[in-house]
Chains A and B, each alone.
Chain A
Amino acid sequence: MHSLTFDVAHLLAGTMLVLSFLLLYQDRVTAVLNVFALQACTLALSVAWQSVAQNAPHLIVTAMVALAVKGFFIPAALHRIVRRLEIHREIEQVLGGGPTMLTGLGLVALSILLVQPVGEGAGIIVREDLAFALAIVLLGMLMMITRRNAVTQIVGFMSLENGLILAATGAKGMPLVVEFSVAFSILIAFIVFGVFVFRIRERFDTVDVSALDSFRGERTEHT
């Protein structure tokens, strides 16, 4: 009943989800970046497999873009940023490792439950890819919420975008133009983030975004 096509797609998408959990779990900045690079490479493999499964050669281009930009370029640039900020040895205080993992598991269950009725008519690969992609998006958001270091928040955002690409390639017939524009906007966002991180650092001598809290207007009477 299980074809090899389905099994490999399941394996790759499942590995991406597991790597999302590793991102949540990991508290060393450089290890987070490595896991992120691994997730992007898995995404590239998954997209390449979709191009074989759906007989859609243009997806190979998407896979190449994902591999080059998110598998190599962005992690390398982030490594450089981390070294220049001299936080590569830092161990980040992840807010409540246990509760975060449990919330993450809850989010995965939620996305599975949500996709199950929606994708009833679709093929099993599409349905599964949608469920995994939604879970990865939600886990990326969770990572952005729980982290206080600006660099790992960026990684959370990028892994969220990995989920989006997974969803987009699972559905048939996404035009190549859309993919290019998404990849391009990610690059732009990355540059903006990079500039921001250095600005925050310059201003507050830290990349811990909780330092910004005391500058928010509505909190002034409490502090």
Chain B
Amino acid sequence: MAMILELALQGAQMLLVVAIAPLVLGVTRKVKARLLARIGPPVIQPYRDIWKLMHKEAVFAHNASWLYRGAPYCIFAVTWVAAALIPTYATGLLFSWSADLIAIVALLGTARFALALAGMDVGTAFGGLGASREMMIASLAEPAMLLIVFTVALVAGTTQLSAIASLFATGSQGLRVSLGLAVFALMFVGIAENARIPIDNPATHLELTMVHEAMVLEYSGRHLAMIEFAAALKLVLYFSLIACLFVPFGMAAGQKTAAALALGLAVWLAKIFALAALLPVGETSVAKMRVFRYPVFLGGAFAAGALAVFLLFVSRGY
């Protein structure tokens, strides 16, 4: 019985992230539109878009291979697994032993690899260009991400997200500059990975500076729906990661009573939507960067991550 309950809780988390992902995307778009003094589409528009795309015919280029057809499902599945592993409303769920930070970075890397391959598959100039830029961004963002992982792991003594969250929720790690630097670096990496504004503009088609849209330009129908859905899931993943690592308060730990779970759920939703409202505020206050400025932007994240690791070494010796 207890086992079934545990499974149900884990399953609920997996379904929850999928159910909420388009809504979070819709909220960011709505807030951004309001900040630009536009009305904006309703917050449930991404659900409608995905629904519409699912029912449209998928068009293929003549030379598209199996890779082109398979990649969207692979990307969606891998992103979903990564997003579902991150503790949302409770710590210590059934599969939390597998929610390892490095594993999540690796899963995201796999999804990016598949997307870049798919972008190059048809052989159009745009796809190749987008793939090469995506890989450039990834090669800069991933070292920074790993340094963030090291920082958190050194403070907590483990890379398991659930254990980290329950440790940080007690506040026993004290005041730490390193964690402040890590959250700063994680925001930079998250902006770059989710193709948000200083790096890429998620709202454009056919513009010379685009990265993510350039890779998926050939896709249509259900394949495009999968890719869009995966992008929304990735946004939720990063929001959850920030919430779980740096503001892990209110999560249900230990005994999973109904009241604790309800509180955890409400707090998690509040955190996610607060971040979803903050992101467009940041986006509207800066301008899009030139491609050649990316290394400076992500180098800042890398430097912050490296500094965080160094500071930890000073404060605790070797």
Contacts and interface: CB of A to CB of B under 8 A. Distances in A.
Interface of A: 2, 4, 6-8, 10-11, 14-15, 17-18, 21, 25, 97-98, 101, 104-105, 108-109, 112, 116, 124, 127-128, 131-132
Interface residues of B, number: 22
30 contacts: A4-B175, A7-B174, A8-B175, A10-B177, A10-B315, A11-B177, A17-B307, A17-B311, A18-B181, A18-B304, A18-B307, A21-B303, A25-B300, A25-B303, A97-B296, A97-B299, A98-B299, A104-B303, A105-B306, A105-B310, A108-B307, A108-B310, A109-B310, A112-B310, A116-B317, A124-B315, A127-B314, A128-B315, A131-B314, A132-B314
A10 B299 contact: no
B52 interface: no
Contacts of B307: 17-18, 21, 105, 108
A105 B303 contact: yes
Contacts of A21: 303, 307
Which of B176, B314, B318 has most chain A Cβ within 10 Å? B314
Contacts of B302: 101
Contacts of A2: 174
B314 to A, nearest CB: 5
Contacts of A116: 317-318
A76 to B, nearest CB: 27
Interface string B175-212: 11110010000000000000000000000000000000
A101 B299 contact: yes
A128 B174 contact: no
Contacts of B109: none
Interface of B: 174-178, 181, 295-296, 299-300, 302-304, 306-307, 310-311, 313-315, 317-318
Contacts of B313: 112
Contacts of A7: 174-176
Which of A8, A14, A116 has most chain B Cβ within 10 Å? A14
A207 B175 CA distance: 42
Contacts of A15: 177
A10 B313 CA distance: 12
Contacts of B176: 7, 10-11
Contacts of B310: 105, 108-109, 112
A6 B315 CA distance: 9
B300 A112 contact: no
Contacts of A6: 315
B296 A98 contact: yes
A138 B306 CA distance: 17
B295 A98 contact: yes
A115 to B, nearest CB: 8
B174 A14 contact: no
Q: Which 3 A-B pairs have the closest CB atoms?
A: A14-B177, A7-B175, A2-B174
